[in-house]
Amino acid sequence: MEKLLLIALIGTGLCVMLRAIRPEYAFVSIVVTGVLLIGSVAAEATGLMDTLRKLGERFGVSEAFCAALLKMAAIAWLTSFGGNLCRDNGQSAAAGSVELGGRIALLGCAMPAVVTMLETGAAMLGGALS
Amino acid sequence: MGIEMLFKVAGIGILAAVVVQLLKQNGREEVATIAAIVGLLIATMLMVSMVSELLETIRSTFSLS
């Protein structure tokens, strides 16, 4: 946790300093800061994700659904990271496109679950009607 | 991968700024431009390799294929 704070503070300071000297390096330094931050969070989250997966297995949640859920979490994380980076550097249009792409990818991941749910509902209704 | 990458990028930036200033004062404008571009290219390559490393980390965290 304190490592994150340290990286964020030093990265922000270097970015402010570099923006005064050469503005193009400020972008690189803020991207590197973001990558370092999110990388250390991801490294810490590995144990948590494994625990969640084991919990899902124990309570009989389908492996495919667990994998889809984790994939969606990863997509949401990455797209919010990329969108925020673009917005920080003044490119709101690129940020909007990245987030739209992320939403579409999330929808694509969720579709198999939606289809399964609809099929289950249809089977239940069919059983009740016949 | 750690905080030293951040200092590496900042060091490249400051070094490029100094080199470009020196070259400009010696009247070599086009060499200064090339130096600025090369410095930015080096920093960008560092950044891209770090981003690919991040994608690998996230792939292993969420155990995606």
| The dihedral sign for the CA sequence A110, A111, A114, A115 | negative
Task: Express each pLDDT in A72-98 by its tens digit.
Answer: 988 998 999 999 999 988 899 999 999
* Minimum-distance CB partner of B13 among A21, A36, A38: A21
Residue pair A45/B35 in contact (Cβ under 8 Å)? The answer is no
Would A51 be classed as within a structural domain? no
Is B1 exposed, middle or buried, given 0-12, 13-18 or 19+ CB atoms closer than 10 A? middle
Q: Cβ contact (<8 Å) for A31 and B47?
A: yes
Would A6 be classed as within a structural domain? yes
**Residue B57: C-alpha distances to residues A54, A105, A111, B63 (Å):** 20, 20, 26, 9
User: Residue A112, Cα to own-chain centre: how many angstroms?
Assistant: 19
pLDDT at A24: 87
Task: Express each pLDDT in A21-61 by its tens digit.
Answer: 888 889 899 999 999 999 888 888 888 888 888 888 888 88
Q: Could you identify the residue written with the tokens 């979490």?
A: A73
Give the Cα separation of B56 and A83 in Å (integer). Answer: 19
**What's the 3-state SS for B6-44?**
HHHHHHHHHHHHHHHHHHHHCCCHHHHHHHHHHHHHHHH
Q: What is the mean pLDDT of residues A110-123?
A: 90
Give the Cα separation of A4 and A35 in Å (integer). Answer: 11
Give the Cα separation of A100 and A110 in Å (integer). Answer: 15
Indicate whether A79 and A128 sit together in one domain.
yes
Nearest CA in chain B to A27: B44
Task: Express each pLDDT in B30-58 by its tens digit.
Answer: 999 999 999 999 999 999 999 999 999 88
Give the Cα separation of B3 and B48 in Å (integer). Answer: 16
Indicate whether A31 and A76 sit together in one domain.
no
Angle at A76 between CA A110 and CA B43, to 5 degrees: 140
Which residues from A are below 8 Å from B when comparing CB atoms? 6-7, 10-11, 14, 17-18, 21-22, 24-25, 28-29, 31-33, 35-36, 38-39, 42-43, 45-46, 49-50, 53, 67, 70-71, 73-74, 77-78
pLDDT at B61: 85
Range of A17's domain? 1-44
Q: Cβ contact (<8 Å) for B63 and A67?
A: yes
Would A52 be classed as within a structural domain? no
pLDDT at A129: 58
Please give the ipTM for the structure prediction: 0.84
Indicate whether A66 and A121 sit together in one domain.
yes
Tokens linked to A105: 């990818």
Would A32 be classed as within a structural domain? yes
Q: Could you identify the residue written with the tokens 């889809």?
A: A68
**Could you give the number of structural domains in chain A?**
2
Measured between beta carbons, which residues in chain A are less than 8 angstroms from residue B36?
A: 22
Element (H, E) at A45: helix A23-58
* Minimum-distance CB partner of A32 among B5, B14, B40: B5
Indicate whether A40 and A67 sit together in one domain.
no
Would A53 be classed as within a structural domain? no
* Minimum-distance CB partner of B13 among A25, A73, A74: A25
pLDDT at A91: 92
Indicate whether A94 and A129 sit together in one domain.
yes
How many other CB atoms are found less than 10 A from the CB of residue A109? Answer: 19
Would A74 be classed as within a structural domain? yes
